[in-house]
């Protein structure tokens, strides 16, 4: 199979390219090449999607995987250039397309946000809201279905983690538990949470291209509870004597701690109004071939990435050591 990965130099797109090479496919990665190198065995075709895809003119591929983060124009340009001839088209969307963030157990038939008419203005928001991001993804999905019809696979991942993840939502906890001591956690033990290892997602996308899987799927792993996941990470990576100090959510919010991501945040913690997002039904994707590895494999791989990047680097999410110490000294907590 001749596979085009739109990207191929960072995180998910690179994992897809690597998985396809392992399966013996001819892999072309269309990217600027600034984020890193393509996997050994893949070929880089230098392309800047902000400047169009003329470098792909005349090329034919058995399958295309597009991981465009948030650009309706990028998606439309790729479809115009390649959609008519590609045998299978996979677009990686997001669970942020769903309008209802509260209801648990949703599946791809649930109501979606209204699609964006166009991309947000350049530079309008350094970090767009989940709603803006989701609306662009909905519009992108619609563009894919309109252009390639029943050759389309729409994949909506939840939280993606694993080797190469620099966004700190899972990695923060691996780092923090590895350091040990008294670890501040949100006292939201029954909150649902799910994730997908980037390697499992990549393997499935390649399998789906091989088997011409089409339709729409939530690419998510099993649902567990936040306390169970954090205790599991701690059991794998913490030194003896590590304690989990659980602070009530209302105390955290009053102290300016943000759920999920961003500065002064506690990653993976979500307010009850958003418990539907990390609790989608994993059954349909599993039935279509998505397999998930044990949490131990993911934690150890993430720990390797954390050690490579450096525990003390500036982070996209989490608490600094000083912030955590100050909160534990000033807020009530209980041991988990």
Residue 135's CATH number: 3.40.50.720
Shared domain for 231 and 314, answered yes or no, is yes
* Phi-psi group of 222: left, alpha or beta (phi > 0 → left; psi -120 to 50 → alpha; rest → beta): beta
Shared domain for 46 and 137, answered yes or no, is yes
Residue 132's pLDDT is 94
Is residue 6, in this structure, part of any structural domain at all? yes
Q: Which domain-ending residue is among 137, 157, 177?
A: 157
Shared domain for 124 and 21, answered yes or no, is yes
Shared domain for 152 and 173, answered yes or no, is no
Shared domain for 178 and 267, answered yes or no, is yes
Q: For the chain, how many structural domains are there in total?
A: 2
CB neighbours (10 Å) of residue 87?
A: 15
Shared domain for 36 and 148, answered yes or no, is yes
Residue 123's pLDDT is 56
Shared domain for 229 and 254, answered yes or no, is yes
Q: Which domain-ending residue is among 131, 157, 183?
A: 157
Residue 122's pLDDT is 67
Shared domain for 47 and 101, answered yes or no, is yes
Is residue 135, in this structure, part of any structural domain at all? yes
Shared domain for 74 and 179, answered yes or no, is no
Low-confidence ranges of the chain (pLDDT < 70): 122-127
Is residue 72, in this structure, part of any structural domain at all? yes
Shared domain for 308 and 178, answered yes or no, is yes
Residue 248's pLDDT is 99
Whether pTM exceeds 0.95? yes
Residue 121's pLDDT is 75
The four Cα atoms 38, 41, 42, 44 give a dihedral, to 10 degrees, of 70
Give the pair of three-digit tokens for residue 304: 């390797």
Query: What CA–CA distances, in Å, run from 53 to 39, 78, 143?
Result: 21, 7, 17
Is residue 218, in this structure, part of any structural domain at all? no
Shared domain for 80 and 177, answered yes or no, is no
Q: Which domain-ending residue is among 103, 130, 157?
A: 157
Is residue 199, in this structure, part of any structural domain at all? no
Residue 127's pLDDT is 62
Residue 305: give the domain boundaries: 169-193+224-275+296-335
Shared domain for 173 and 104, answered yes or no, is no
3-state helix/strand/coil string of the chain = CEEEEECCCCHHHHHHHHHHHHCCCEEEEEECCCCCCCCCCCEEEECCHHHCCHHHCCCCCCEEEECCCCCHHHHHHHHHHHCCCCCCEEEECCHHHECCCCCCCCCCCCCECCCCCCCCCCCCCCCCCHHHHHHHHHHHHHHHHHHHHHHEEEEEECEEECCCCCCCCCHHHHHHHHHCCEEEEECCCCCEECEEEHHHHHHHHHHHHHHCCCEEEEECCCCEEHHHHHHHHHHHHCCCCCEEEEECHHHHHHCCCEEECEECEEECCCCHHHCCCCCCCCHHHHHCCCCCCCHHHHHHHHHHHHHHHCCCCCCCEECCHHHHHHHHHHCCCEEC
């Amino acid at each position: 199979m001749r596979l085009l990965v739109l990207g191929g130099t960072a995180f998910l797109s690179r994992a897809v390219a690597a998985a396809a090479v392992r399966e013996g496919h001819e892999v072309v990665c269309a990217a600027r090449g600034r984020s890193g190198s393509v996997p050994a065995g893949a070929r880089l075709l230098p392309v800047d999607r902000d400047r169009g895809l003329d470098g792909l003119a005349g090329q034919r591929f058995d399958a295309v995987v597009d991981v465009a983060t948030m650009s309706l124009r990028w998606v439309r340009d790729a479809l115009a250039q390649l959609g008519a001839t590609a045998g299978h088209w996979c677009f990686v969307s997001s669970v942020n397309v769903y309008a209802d963030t509260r209801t648990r157990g949703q599946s791809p038939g649930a109501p979606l946000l209204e699609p964006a008419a166009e991309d947000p203005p350049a530079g309008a928001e350094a970090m767009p809201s989940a709603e803006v991001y989701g609306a662009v993804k909905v519009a992108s999905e619609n563009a894919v279905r309109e252009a390639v019809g029943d050759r389309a696979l729409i994949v909506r991942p939840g939280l993606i983690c694993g080797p190469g993840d620099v966004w700190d939502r899972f990695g923060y906890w691996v780092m923090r538990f590895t350091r040990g001591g008294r670890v501040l956690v949100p006292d939201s033990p029954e909150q649902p949470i799910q994730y997908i290892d980037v390697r499992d997602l990549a393997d499935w996308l390649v399998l789906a291209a091989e088997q011409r899987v089409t339709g729409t799927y939530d690419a998510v792993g099993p649902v567990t509870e936040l306390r169970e996941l954090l205790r599991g990470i701690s059991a794998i990576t913490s030194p003896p004597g590590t304690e989990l100090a659980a602070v009530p959510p209302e105390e955290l919010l009053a102290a300016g701690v943000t759920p999920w991501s961003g500065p002064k945040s506690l990653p993976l913690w979500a307010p009850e109004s958003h418990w539907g997002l990390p609790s989608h039904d994993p059954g349909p994707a599993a039935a279509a071939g998505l397999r998930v590895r044990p949490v131990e494999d993911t934690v150890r791989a993430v720990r390797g990435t954390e050690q490579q990047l450096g525990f003390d680097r500036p982070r996209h999410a989490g608490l600094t050591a000083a912030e955590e110490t100050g909160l534990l000294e000033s807020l009530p907590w209980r041991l988990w």
